Amino acid sequence: MNALTFDSHTTAMPLLQELVDCISYRLIMSTIDTAKTAAQVSVENNLPLSSTYKKIKKLQDVGILFIEKIELDGKGKKVVYYRSRIKSMEFNLSRDQILLQFEKNDVHLSSAQVNVIKQSAAF
């Protein structure tokens, strides 16, 4: 498994809190297989566009979502496509540790992007 593991309480807890948020979960699930715009994710999940942008920003800040591509539409406006860096997650709680293990969604990730995941890892 091509995975990242976090067993530090100070690293795992903030990340776990973000992942169990219902909106974050829907954004991540929506962008695992294909990159999507904020508008596509918003419509697909019946979320307000402004809330979608705010949550995308938070997920980018913790290294879970990344910009896969930027295109120009017919009017010359930038269209940004977001994609999840994680494909799956396992969570294990024991008396003395919290363990989060992520399978990287590296179908389209370059080695530079994988390094960003590791560096964000306070992830």
Which pLDDT tens digit goes with each residue over 48-103?
A: 999 999 999 988 988 889 999 999 989 999 999 999 988 777 777 777 766 666 67
Helix (H, G, I), strand (E, B) or coil at 28: helix
Average pLDDT for 104-117 = 51
pLDDT at site 93:
72
Residue 55's domain spans which residues?
A: 3-119
Element (H, E) at 115: helix 111-119
- pTM as predicted: 0.68
Number of domains in the chain: 1
User: Of the candidates 12, 49, 34, which has an alpha carbon nearest to the alpha carbon of residue 87?
Assistant: 34
Beta bridge pairs of residue 90: 101
Q: Which residue is associated with the tokens 């591509």?
A: 69
**pLDDT exceeds 50 at position 117:** no
Lowest mean pLDDT among 1-5, 16-20, 51-55, 86-90: 1-5
